[in-house]
Structure 1
Amino acid sequence: MKVTIYDVAREANVSIATVSKVINNTGRISEKTRKKVKEVMRKLDYQPNLMASALMGKQTKTIGLLIPDLANPFFSELARSIEDRGHELGYNLVICSTDYQEEKENKYLTLLLQKRVDGFILASGFENLNKVEELIKDNIPVAIVARDFPMISVNAVALDDFMGGYIAANYLIDLGHKDIAIIASNVWSNRERLRGFKHALEEHNLKFRDDFEYITEINVESGKVMTIKYLSNANPPTAIFACNDLVAVGAIQAAKKLGINVPEQLSVVGFDNTIVATIIEPNLTTIAQPIQNMGKEVMDLMVSILNGDKQDITRLTLLPTLVERESTAKLTQQ
């Protein structure tokens, strides 16, 4: 049977509050009592529930934000928008980059709970469903941003990623492209964009390429490698939809390396509408996420949860839009 904080308190002959203070290293407790409680914890092999205990007490006005990759302009811009809104509302942000690694996610959650954050904002790329459920079970304020967990009841500000993929594919089809490749990673947002992309192809009776495979890292290099693979095929695509602006940049660079002109010979569409879309040459046509609005909405949602203003779960879904630039062209012009 699992040892509880009540067992430790009874064995040490102290109150539950005293045990909690020892666990969180807070309050005025004599060294003798602190030592006694720790000895009992070791004796009973008690594993404190850091998630439940760390949030006992007053608000610290600090929110933990877990971002998968701060080197990705989308996430850095999103973090900045959340942080700016937090400052307006009197809250500070502790930002952690998890590199899409579950081990780092768990490490930062535990660390931030020990630091007594008031709650968590978890960004797209956080795939650990069990951990989200654990946080909710322990009554820890949680809000998801730039993705959704439709299978559980959790507050979220998401993008309609399915619609984003659908818009991208339809746009390229309207330009006359029939053989369109996609570059995506195996994370929720990209899977939804892929689903929308496939749906648009099916509506127009177009075939999905059988040489598709998920990329393992979301960066420029992955875009280059996958594009070279596509363009080296006996039946190369005339257009590529990359589920991320960085990956799209890699696609454009790979095309240039192979002597293929963008957009005359290959159209490229990205996703996010980050600053890199206006830096790469030619400027990138992309599916825009409302990053500033997304950051504001999720911070407002988190504060309303912390203030006890919310009783029901809120799921806000924002819509993507197409931003047309110079990396795409009609097929008849190629």
Structure 2
Amino acid sequence: MGKKLTIMDIAQMAGVSRQTVSRVLNNKPEVNEATRKQVQRLIEKHEFRPSLQARSMVTRKTNMIALLLPDIANPFFAEVVRGIERTLRENNLNVFLMTTEEDVEQENAFIQLSKNYNVDGMILCSPRLDDANLRKLIPEISPVVLLNRDLDVDGAACIVVDATHGGYVATKYLIEQGHSKIGIIVGPPRAYSSIQRLEGYKKALQDFGIPFDNDLVMQVEVDNKGVHIMTEKLIKQNVTSITTYNDMAAAHVIQACTDLNLNVPEDISVIGFDGLAISQFTNPTLTTMSLPLFEIGETIASILIKMIKGNEPFERLSKVYPILKVGNSTKSVHFSD
């Protein structure tokens, strides 16, 4: 097999410039009909397909979108990515995906690689890159859509889950069910949503006159690591309910309760967050703060497409409000006189 032909090879065969071949490939009008037909014959004869890099040198478009996530194994991200990919694919855009396990060096390397590939836009979910670094990077890589990060900077749009609202509603529901000693397990401290969820929890306690007890707050360093031990610690403090930062963590709590010979919800109520499919398959089924994850992905992609085209207005900040979905993992503990 011979070497792969380049645009320059086709140009030399046709006796025209490289720019002329590119104009034919991209269906531009600035080529006379005879030359166009000659170039097209050569393209068909040699089954020539230009590389993305070669095409982008003329069009400045690669039809590639860079997508950075901390962890694709997390079902939350998996469902969001489905919505992103489908919407981009329907608009003839492809996804260049990298997961970084929240490694800052990997995140920076991916961003640099995406710049080198001249991607048309980026979608970033980066818990580790701080605001100062993002403010510096975004003008170089825009347009960008940030997931679960509210940063007001030119060239970026943000879509965030209102975890404050979610934390408040979950805690309020438990209080209304008669619970007053409510444990909470929140995600990694660097996560934007962890801070918000704890704020919502505190606000609900305050609104109902229940003193805040810092000993009832457990915070994981890495997703779902140590949840079993944290559940044991909360149970030793006689909590009657536990609200968590995602459905996977809630499933771990239920398992920990089972291991401790406690029944959910008879002995302890549990609330998850996200509304993943797993919430319907735990035993018992989860009460959870449900999110339209696929639709979030669609929204992210749609906003980025508008930014790339530049001819439609878009929301700089879009908020998504989780909705309480009652399952069988919670119960009332009101006592009759």
Letter in 2 for 1:256: T
Q: 1:140 offset after TM fit, Å?
A: 2.0
Aligned partner of 2:12 in structure 1 is: none
Aligned partner of 2:318 in structure 1 is: 316
Q: Aligned pair in 2 of structure 1 residues 213, 325: CA closer, same or farther (>3 Å)? A: closer
TM-score (norm 1): 0.78
The residue matched to 1:120 in structure 2 has which SS?
strand
The alignment status of 1:149 with 2:150, answered yes or no, reads: yes
The alignment status of 1:129 with 2:169, answered yes or no, reads: no
Aligned partner of 1:300 in structure 2 is: 302
Matching residue within 213, 226, 232 for 1:228: 232
The alignment status of 1:67 with 2:78, answered yes or no, reads: no
> Any conservation in 2 of the 1:177–1:331 contact (CA below 8 Å)?
yes
Q: 1:288 offset after TM fit, Å?
A: 0.8
Residues 73-93 of structure 1, C-alpha deviations (whole Å, 9 max, x = no match): 101111111111111111111
CA distance in 2, matches of 1:296, 1:324: 26
Q: Across the two proteins, how many residue pairs are aligned to each other? A: 277
The alignment status of 1:198 with 2:202, answered yes or no, reads: yes
CA distance in 2, matches of 1:127, 1:252: 33
Matching residue within 202, 217, 221 for 1:216: 221
> Any conservation in 2 of the 1:125–1:188 contact (CA below 8 Å)?
yes
Aligned partner of 1:282 in structure 2 is: 284
Q: Aligned pair in 2 of structure 1 residues 55, 225: CA closer, same or farther (>3 Å)? A: farther
CA distance in 1, matches of 2:166, 2:235: 24
Larger-gyration structure (1/2): 2
The alignment status of 1:113 with 2:115, answered yes or no, reads: yes
Q: Percent identity?
A: 32
The residue matched to 2:118 in structure 1 has which SS?
coil
The residue matched to 1:109 in structure 2 has which SS?
helix
1:232-247 correspondence runs (5 A):
232=236, 235-247=237-249
Aligned partner of 2:81 in structure 1 is: 79
Residues 105-138 of structure 1, C-alpha deviations (whole Å, 9 max, x = no match): 1121122222222121112635432332123232
TM-score (norm 2): 0.77
The residue matched to 2:209 in structure 1 has which SS?
coil
Q: 1:243 offset after TM fit, Å?
A: 0.9
Tell me how large the CA RMSD over aligned residues is: 2.1
Between 321-330 and 307-316, report the one with greater CA deviation.
Answer: 307-316
CA distance in 2, matches of 1:158, 1:97: 20
Q: Aligned pair in 2 of structure 1 residues 312, 277: CA closer, same or farther (>3 Å)? A: closer
- Structure 1 portions without partners, runs of 5+: 1-27, 29-53
The alignment status of 1:330 with 2:332, answered yes or no, reads: yes
- Structure 2 portions without partners, runs of 5+: 1-17, 19-55
Letter in 1 for 2:256: A
